[in-house]
Structure 1
Amino acid sequence: MREEIYNFWHRSDSKLPLNVVMSGISYCDKNYRIERHGEDMYSFEYIIEGSGVLEINSQTLYPQKNDVYLLTANSDHLYYSSEDHPWVKIWVVFYGDFAAYLFKRYLPADTYLIKDCNILSYMNEIIHISSAGNKSYAELIDECSVMLLKIVLRLKNHLEHKMLSAAEQIKLCLDVNIENKLDMNDVCAQFGYSKNYLIKLFRETYGITPYAYFRKHKIELAKHYLLHTYLNINEISVKLNFADQHYFSSSFRAIVGISPSEYRKSHYRTIK
């Protein structure tokens, strides 16, 4: 059994809306077993590898690779790793009014296991924040608060869209970020896929790469702005997060066949 633990018990401040108790990575063995009763703390635990059992508030659950299990305040829980395939997991323990608000506002009551939801990049960031020796506790809490909110929203969206296929979830991610600058590496990290696998999965479903789909739909939205607003070309370029007006115009011409200004002129009566 080996663990990397960052402990902040001694730095807790009752005036803060959130306190991080500890965070870490556990490389479990067959003897790993934790039991608690009624403690006023919350925890996110993401399973990197392995399998095990969680018994919480009369539910018996089986967290395994790529699952997240949640430990809620005042719960009775027992969890332990399997003997033949023990957990490797990354976790954070926290408490406070902000923690209670996140769980009450965004997550269904009595939900303790979320299957196949990759939050590794967010958890790694919490470990990175925790390990930085040059931060005050208040700074650490501010940065962890942002990451915990991101995790909760990721879990919430995953639960709401869990009936979507993986390709549909990727498409939804592209659609909701259509006006933003989106790096495909970030999309891969969010879903836990390699870039080659993500491209293959998306193309098999939609017949187009994620990048080509994203660029095509940006241009479709640009056409809408050209026809139905009085934003100038540069303003549309900025609004859609193109690197600059020249790149926007060249991308538009590559897909539509004419420049944005020519497209607007050819539909002048529409915007009149």
Structure 2
Amino acid sequence: MREEVYNFWQMCDSKYPLNVVMSGISYCDKNYRIERHGQNLFSFEYIIDGSGVLEINSQTVYPQKNDVYILTRDSDHVYYSSEDHPWTKIWVVFYGEFAEYLFKQYLPADTYIVKDCSILSYMNEIINISSASNKSYSELIDEVSVMLLKIVLHLKNHLEHKVLSAAEQIKLCLDVNIENKLDMDDVCIQLGYSKNHIIKLFRETYGITPYAYFRKHKVELAKHYLLNTHLTINEISVKLNFADQHYFSSTFSDIVGIPPSKYRKSNKTER
């Protein structure tokens, strides 16, 4: 893994209405994983490419290319890249009264992801500001404050005016039910489309059937549980609502190439 990081921890001071802790660009690998609990920090992280998982305050979302995920103050969160297509992302970590104001005034509570919303130009400008050697910390704060305001307003407008396409609605339905048992008939009823129409729309947009997408992402989540929890194979099968352990193992082997027990053993050995 490779990162470009600009660190300002040592300059932070409570007298400022905003403190920029760090900013940077991360070229993640399959082992990238960050976990925090109850820290007084905010973060905007824009996905330039790749996919992964964010678990935050009992919600699970799946940030991918062109999405923004948001880490909020005092949250419990863990996030990690997918093994097959790790993130490349650009990010900024900050805190202070001005940050509190921005989030309270402009963003709905419990907003942790904004889909398909490019803020790359703003984030690139933050990196340019951070890397400038001729700026004092107070100058940096002033300039980053302006960019954060622009980002928050951009996110607010996107959330208020974004109308999801039919394919995006289908994908959202699949994503929020990834741990549940979901039948295509349920999706048809919820969205008001025929099964054939849903399959056609989804495949045209994402190049995969809804069923294959749902199955693949269940297995991605299973990989996380295998490597980062002590749950048994059967407990993971139950948690992800597979019919039984045998079907879970069969599905996992079809997609990954090895059964879950072997995947857990071989990858933990590598670590």
Calculate the TM-score normalised by the size of structure 1: 0.60
Q: Which residue of 1 aligns with 2:114?
A: 114
**Which amino acid in structure 2 is aligned with residue 10 of structure 1?**
Q
Matching residue of 1:147? 147
Q: Distance in 2 between matches of 1:68 and 1:131?
A: 22
Instruction: Give a deviation string over 1:2-40, Cα, whole Å, max 9, x none.
Output: 000000000011100000000000000000000000000
Match of 2:37 in 1: 37
2:150 match: secondary structure:
helix
**Partner residue, 1:168:** none
Alignment correspondent of 1:57: 57
Does residue 102 in structure 1 map to residue 102 in structure 2? yes
The residue type paired with residue 11 of structure 1 is: M
- Listed as ranges, the matches of 1:12-31 within 5 Å are 12-31=12-31
Residue 130 of structure 1 pairs with residue 124 of structure 2: no
For the aligned residue pairs, the C-alpha RMSD in angstroms reads 0.9
Correspondence for 1:70? 70
Alignment of 1:153-192 (within 5 A): 153-163=153-163
Q: Distance in 2 between matches of 1:154 and 1:49?
A: 20
Deviations 1:49-69 (A, max 9, x none): 000000000000000000000
- Three-state SS of the structure 1 residue aligned to 2:133 is coil
> Superposition pairs for residues 86-101 of structure 1, below 5 Å?
86-101=86-101
> Which residue in the other structure is 1:83 paired with?
83
**Aligned counterparts of 1:53 and 1:164: Cα–Cα separation in 2:** 21
- Counterpart-to-counterpart distance in 2, 1:106 and 1:94: 17
Counterpart code for 2:54: L
- Amino acid in structure 2 at the alignment position of 1:45: E
Aligned equivalent of 2:46: 46
Q: In structure 2, how many angstroms separate the alpha carbons of the residues matched to 1:74 and 1:164?
A: 30
SS of corresponding position for 1:73: coil
| Structure 2 residue ranges without an equivalent (≥5) | 166-271
Distance (Å, rounded) in 2 between the aligned partners of 1:46 and 1:150: 14
State the one-letter code of the partner of 1:7.
Answer: N
Pairwise CA distance, 1:124: 0.0
* Distance in 2 of aligned mates of 1:43 and 1:100: 12
Following the alignment from structure 1 to structure 2, what is the Cα–Cα distance between the partners of residues 162 and 83? 30
Q: Hey, what's the Cα distance between the residues in 1 that align with 2:164 and 2:63?
A: 21
CA deviation string 1:233-262 (max 9, x = no partner): xxxxxxxxxxxxxxxxxxxxxxxxxxxxxx
Q: Aligned equivalents of 2:131 and 2:43: distance in 1?
A: 18
Kindly tell me the number of residue pairs found equivalent between the two proteins: 165
Q: Report the secondary structure of 1:63's partner residue.
A: coil
Superposed displacement of residue 164, structure 1: 7.6
Structure 2: distance between partners of 1:108 and 1:24: 26
Alignment-derived partner of residue 197 in structure 2 = none
The one-letter code matched in structure 1 to 2:77 is H
Partners of 1:49 and 1:28 lie apart in 2 by 10
Report percent identity of matched pairs.
83
AA at the equivalent of 1:134: N
Cα offsets for 1:194-216 (capped at 9, x unmatched): xxxxxxxxxxxxxxxxxxxxxxx
Aligned: 1:6 with 2:6: yes
Question: What is the CA–CA distance in structure 2 between the aligned matches of 1:13 and 1:79, rounded to whole Å?
Answer: 28
State the SS of the aligned residue for 1:130: helix
Distance in 2 between residues matched to 1:135 and 1:164, nearest whole Å: 42
Q: Deviations over 1:122-172 (max 9, x none)?
A: 00000000000000100000000000000000000000000188xxxxxxx
1:112 counterpart letter in structure 2: Y
Which runs of 5 or more residues in structure 1 are unaligned?
166-272
